[in-house]
Structure 1
Amino acid sequence: MKYDCIVIGGGPSGLMAAISAGLHGARVLLLEKGDRLGRKLLISGGGRCNVTNNKEIDELIQHIPGNGRFMYGPFSVFNNRDIVRFFEELGIRLKEEDRGRMFPVSDKAKSVLDALLTKMRDLDVVIKTNTAVASVRYEQGAVAGVKLRGGEQIDAPAVIIASGGMSVPKTGSTGDGYAWARAAGHTITDLYPTEVPIRSKEPWIKELQGLSLRHIVLTVQNAKGKKIIAHEGDMIFTHFGISGPAVLRCSQFVVKELKKGATAVQLQLDLFPEQKLEDLQAELYRRAEAEPKKAFKNVIKGFIPERMIPLLLAKSELDEDTTFANLPKKPLATLAELLKALPISASGTLSIEEAFITGGGVHLKEVTPSTMQSKLMPGLFFSGEILDLHGYTGGFNITVAFSTGYVAGKSAAESYA
């Protein structure tokens, strides 16, 4: 059988690319080296599949810190609202949750995957699993098809590389596509982990292992102590450092500072982001004054996370058993300052394989944003995480995957059908 388009990779971007190419009239072959499709999709959104985010386009792009402006091109063809319509037309009803996150009403990623697989069957997309690609074939200055690891060659005038990055390798993302892009003359920018837990060598971190904090603000500072970025959200202390949504969003900025040669990066944790420092200090004083005979450590229980009280009082040089009558003002002020800016030294992050997303990839100056076609090799298209594009968790990365996948599929079909 002859194909108009070959899609390499059965993740969210590859599935969308195959459907889009089929919708626009192409005869499509989807190749997946693993034994099943959609493995990363099934674990996205905690197994519920956060299919997109409902924010306005400009705000959406602000949540794609890795070259987000490039996405104005793909979004002009297929944006987050189009993604919502697409899934609803497939029979997947969606609901909006906090921060604009869009989930299937079923709360099951499998229902999303099943709908995509059904659509591909309806479009007669040929699917081959357990089929690894050895190389993309380039002949006479254009795409000619692919060569499989077993030696078989399959012809097609258009190939979409949707093979992912290097993060979560158990889903099949092991960086295979970078070599195929380089062979076409493409530049691969430095690869690094993003949306990844942060390591810390602070001696007190392990004492707080398992403690979750809600609605905090975490700030990343540069070597001069100036704020680089701050994110609000939840976090958790781990045996190696910190994790959770706010931490993941800050992680890429830690990585970038370390790349500049820093041995550690200073973070600040604000436990009470909605309160001013002076109001927080006054609140601590008021609580002590209201129960003058109580030990201060008991006065602040229920106000400050209990497991953090010994650490914070020790850092403030406040006796745990002191009462209101003996409460010194300077250490009380120090405690308030720590509650607003507890310093945490970040020594690094977990590895790129342990990250949710890969930073870096195919250089975007070498790709046409409105078509996702290579500027260097006719017939070659890219979509998803192989590109030097990344967003925050919360539906932004999968929006990039679906948008670039749809555009690549549409463009490949229209150019070579």
Structure 2
Amino acid sequence: MAHYDVLVIGAGTSGLMAAISAAEHGATVGVIEKNKFAGRKLLVTGNGRCNVTNNRDKEEIIAHIPGNGRFLYSAFYQYDNYDIMNFFRSKGIALKEEDHGRMFPTTDKSRTIVNALVSILEDLNVDLHTDSPVETVLYEDNQAVGVLLKNGETIHGSRVIISTGGKAMPRTGSTGDGYAWAEKAGHTIKELYPTEVPITSNEPFIQDHVLQGLSLRDMTMSVLNKKNKAVVSHRMDMIFTHLGVSGPAVLRCSMFVLQTMKRDKNGKATLTIDSLPDLSKGELKQKLEQLVKQDGDKSFKNALKPFGPERYLLFGLERLAIDSDRPYKTVTPKEMEGIVGFLKDFRFDVHGSLPIEKAFVTGGGVHTKEVNPKTMESKLMKHLYFTGEILDYNGYTGGYNITGAFITGRIAGMHAAQSVLSS
């Protein structure tokens, strides 16, 4: 019967880092993974290129973890995104920076990162037990003591770290197993919800697939509350889909959409698109008025060409009941207002999201008030630690969630090892 100083459940981003950290701090470490190989979800992150972290300062990273990011402050002061970069570079992995501070391996392959982590485990003599699903975590005398595997085998650990992820992307093995083991230890699980997820809409133009497949680049999307004030705005790209809207801006707004819907008695939220964020309404109106002199003989659809994709413009003109073949010089002041309104503030209602299984990230999880933010140890069960997405914090895509996973893993592994070795 195996016994380790530190036993980590889950060989994902945070679990691998927790195991490495514990071993580097002198503990004997075992990792239990139900998949046939480690790092299954890591392999698909960043479209298979693995966006390992983000090159921004602490404050900005935490601002990009809008779901409870403050919980990570204490961890960040012990180990941060620059430490993550130094860790990989010190292991011979070159990184490069792309837009919005995203850091990738220069090979553009997530396999590079997963292979590196696994070979570091081997160098540190960490035992990796793959294809070993856990039945339950064992607790005795108010402390974690090990795990019972589904095959009936027991593995003991003086400290147990649960790094099983959330419920998003279940095909990678994130099926929410860890929540039951946390509850068994007395923990509260904050309601789970999808984040970084495409949004659905019952609007007729969506149901009729009028704009399906159309992308808008570098536009600003905002989520509006009941008073029509923007709850959050993101300037990025988006795409209309057969069910609603998706793309980077939508994923970032999704958590706020779902929160706004929850507060609305009809269960809906309003999104607005500003397709020309560099122009104020006044500046746009001026340009449209100049067009009457310059291109007045052209049809509406040809005169307005510089102001957006043709499909989007034709859709807007149709909504305003303007014949797109009419000469542009016949535009009325009311129509002009309508065009400005459509290009700067096109509002539509949204009614839900794809299910959590289709999300990139899980919101909710183990209540962070029940976890010591300096060590990631449970406040309710001795010798039990949590890392990564099982905890109730969530960030935007772009290297923020993975940063949280690496950091919480690093801190939990270090403190678990130090706690065993000093006892």
How would you bin the TM-score normalised by the shorter chain? over 0.9
Q: Report deviation, 1:141.
A: 1.2
Contact kept? 1:193, 1:351, Cα under 8 Å: yes
Contact kept? 2:190, 2:364, Cα under 8 Å: yes
Q: Which amino acid aligns with 2:72?
A: M
SS state at 1:330 partner: helix
Q: Report deviation, 1:302.
A: 3.8
Q: 1:287-298 counterparts in 2 under 5 A?
A: 287-298=291-302
The alignment's C-alpha RMSD in Å is 1.1
Distance 2:48 2:291 in 1: 43
Q: 1:6-405 counterparts in 2 under 5 A?
A: 6-205=7-206, 206-260=209-263, 261-405=265-409
Distance 2:297 2:225 in 1: 44
Q: Which amino acid aligns with 2:353?
A: T
Q: Which amino acid aligns with 1:195?
A: E
Aligned residue number for residue 414 of structure 1: 418
Tell which deviates more after alignment, 119-128 or 150-159: 150-159
Contact kept? 1:199, 1:347, Cα under 8 Å: yes
Distance 1:309 1:100 in 2: 33
Identity %: 51
Contact kept? 2:144, 2:158, Cα under 8 Å: yes
Q: Which amino acid aligns with 1:245?
A: P
Q: Which amino acid aligns with 1:276?
A: S
Contact kept? 1:76, 1:370, Cα under 8 Å: no
1:64-93 deviations in whole A, cap 9, x for unaligned?
A: 001111111111111101000001011111
Contact kept? 1:218, 1:230, Cα under 8 Å: yes
Contact kept? 1:317, 1:331, Cα under 8 Å: no
Q: Report deviation, 1:397.
A: 0.3
Runs of 4+ displaced beyond 3 Å: none
Distance 1:254 1:2 in 2: 47
1:382-403 deviations in whole A, cap 9, x for unaligned?
A: 0000000100011000000000
Contact kept? 2:317, 2:323, Cα under 8 Å: yes
Distance 2:291 2:107 in 1: 46
Distance 1:117 1:156 in 2: 21
Q: Report deviation, 1:5.
A: 0.8
1:172-215 deviations in whole A, cap 9, x for unaligned?
A: 00010001001111110011000000001122231111111111
TM-score, normalised to structure 1, is 0.98
Cα 1:246–1:214 shift into 2, 3 Å: same
Contact kept? 2:303, 2:328, Cα under 8 Å: no
Distance 2:337 2:397 in 1: 36
SS state at 1:70 partner: helix
Count of residues in Structure 1 that have an aligned counterpart in Structure 2: 417
Distance 2:345 2:253 in 1: 16
Distance 2:296 2:155 in 1: 81
Distance 2:5 2:328 in 1: 79
Q: Report deviation, 1:12.
A: 0.6
TM-score, normalised to structure 2, is 0.97
Q: Which amino acid aligns with 2:310?
A: E
Q: Which amino acid aligns with 2:322?
A: L
Cα 1:14–1:146 shift into 2, 3 Å: same
Contact kept? 2:6, 2:158, Cα under 8 Å: yes
SS state at 1:167 partner: coil
Distance 2:301 2:416 in 1: 66
Contact kept? 1:288, 1:323, Cα under 8 Å: no
SS state at 2:234 partner: strand
Distance 1:88 1:415 in 2: 28
1:4-59 deviations in whole A, cap 9, x for unaligned?
A: 11111111111111111111111111111111111111111111111001111111
Distance 1:102 1:301 in 2: 37
Contact kept? 1:54, 1:100, Cα under 8 Å: yes
Contact kept? 1:288, 1:296, Cα under 8 Å: no
Contact kept? 1:18, 1:409, Cα under 8 Å: yes
Contact kept? 1:269, 1:341, Cα under 8 Å: yes
